[in-house]
Amino acid sequence: MQIAIDGPAGAGKSTIAKKIAAAYQMTYLDTGAMYRCIAHCVLNQMGDRFDNAADIVKIARGTVIRFEGNQVFCNDKDVTWEIRTPLVSRHTSDVARIKEVRDLLVAQQREYAKDHGVVMDGRDIGSVVLPEADLKFFLDADVLERAQRRKKELDEKGNGKALEEIKNEIEDRDSNDKNRLEGPLVQVADAIVIDTTGKSIEEVYEEMKIHIDEAC
């Protein structure tokens, strides 16, 4: 079984995807982490020169991404936390708009889905990566609530930032993801749309579970 979950930043996709994967003994693939890994490698090797697409593609081709449970490894280095920094978040859409980078990662994501029952979350899963997925969900939420959720996470890590700044960053990221030519964030016609505004993880999970149980 293949389950695709798409949606904008902070809509709760990864938390829900992990919960579904655990409950249905499926594998979870965090495709955002893969784009983040490339951005992280570019920052390490080239600084913030994200205007050089040819060099970014070279770096992407030389990067081996591996998942072990909740940990993410990039060329055998554990980068689980490093890929979540605000700097990496800011630059990930710079690598994600490059066609060759997307082609490379999409091929790896499809390969992954060949051998596993998967729950995959991202921006282009239902539209590009797994257009034949058994179930497609599109999770959305009011931008202010998404920013509040993100602020709570950052505050817990001691990375406090003003709500307005976080909201602006989320809006910029969404705009970049929606407006790029390759693999933009889209709500496909056959997706089940769930607005997570004001809902707990448990409520969203129960709503999705009804559809999954029907499809099983």
- Residue 176: both structure tokens together: 């970049």
Nearer to ligand C5P, 86 or 210 (CB): 86
Helices vs strands, H then E, count in the chain = 8, 8
As a whole number of angstroms, the distance between CA 64 and CA 129 comes to: 19
Write out the DSSP string of 93-112. HHHHT-HHHHHHHHHHHHHH
Nearest approach, Cβ of 173 to ligand C5P (angstroms)? 5
Q: Does 140 help bind ligand C5P (rule: CB under 6 A)?
A: no
Contact positions with ligand C5P (CB under 6 A) in 148-187 = 173, 177, 183
Q: Which stretch binds ligand C5P (CB under 6 A): 117-125, 148-156, 161-169, 201-209?
A: 117-125
Query: Is residue 174 a contact partner of residue 6, using CB atoms and an 8 Å limit?
Result: no
Q: Does 137 help bind ligand C5P (rule: CB under 6 A)?
A: no
Query: Is residue 40 a contact partner of residue 82, using CB atoms and an 8 Å limit?
Result: yes
Cα→Cα distances 144→20, 89, 118, 150, Å: 26, 18, 30, 10
Contact positions with ligand C5P (CB under 6 A) in 16-45 = 31-32, 35-36
Q: Does 92 help bind ligand C5P (rule: CB under 6 A)?
A: yes
Binds ligand C5P (CB under 6 A): choice among 96, 130, 147, 208:
96
Q: Which stretch binds ligand C5P (CB under 6 A): 62-70, 116-124, 138-146, 150-158?
A: 116-124
Sheet strand arrangement including 2-6: 27-30, 118-122, 2-6, 135-140, 192-195
Nearest approach, Cβ of 214 to ligand C5P (angstroms)? 25
The site for ligand C5P (CB under 6 A) is made up of: 9, 31-32, 35-36, 92-93, 96, 122-124, 173, 177, 183
